[in-house]
């Protein structure tokens, strides 16, 4: 079945550093979504991408829909303590419109 490979699995960074994570697949997707999940809560949508090559920003977050439609990345600039959490990528499959999630990237910020 279709899978999303999200990397890295976890990251330890210093406050103020930039962060980059990505998702790749052997299958193409129509839509890429990036979510953040805090403990005990549901994922919250950060950025949605609907067109190949699209680059979208939301504050300090920037995400791109890969030109091949098989990948996407998320960058966070100048990280702050509240960025801690698990980040998920998700793709909408063109064949049957299912949302497939990556396994998540757990972001830790060192004091």
Q: Which residues bind other proteins (CB under 8 A)?
A: 1, 31, 33, 35, 40-45, 48, 50, 88, 90, 92, 96-104
Burial of 79-107, coded b for 16+ CB within 10 Å and e otherwise, reads beeebebbbbbbbbbeeeeeebbbebbeb
CB of 14 to other proteins, least distance (A): 27
**Structure tokens belonging to residue 39:** 């403990």
5 DSSP β-pair partners: 24
Q: Which is closer to other proteins, CB of 6 or CB of 79?
A: 6
HEC per residue, 33-81 = EEEEECCCCCCEEEEEECCCCCEEEECCEEEEECCCCCEEEEEECCCCH
CB of 54 to other proteins, least distance (A): 14
Q: Which is closer to other proteins, CB of 6 or CB of 64?
A: 6
Q: Which is closer to other proteins, CB of 70 or CB of 101?
A: 101
CB of 77 to other proteins, least distance (A): 23
Q: Which is closer to other proteins, CB of 4 or CB of 19?
A: 4
CB of 102 to other proteins, least distance (A): 7
């Amino acid at each position: 079945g279709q899978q999303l490979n999200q990397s890295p699995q976890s990251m330890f960074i210093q406050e103020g550093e930039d962060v980059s994570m990505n998702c790749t697949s052997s299958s193409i997707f129509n839509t890429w979504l990036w979510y953040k999940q805090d403990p005990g809560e549901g994922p919250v949508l950060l950025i949605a991408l609907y067109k190949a090559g699209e680059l979208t920003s939301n504050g300090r977050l920037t995400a791109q829909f890969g030109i091949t439609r098989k990948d996407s990345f998320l960058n966070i600039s100048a990280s702050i303590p509240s960025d801690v959490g698990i980040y998920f990528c998700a793709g909408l499959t063109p064949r049957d419109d299912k949302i497939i999630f990556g396994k998540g990237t757990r972001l830790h910020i060192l004091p």
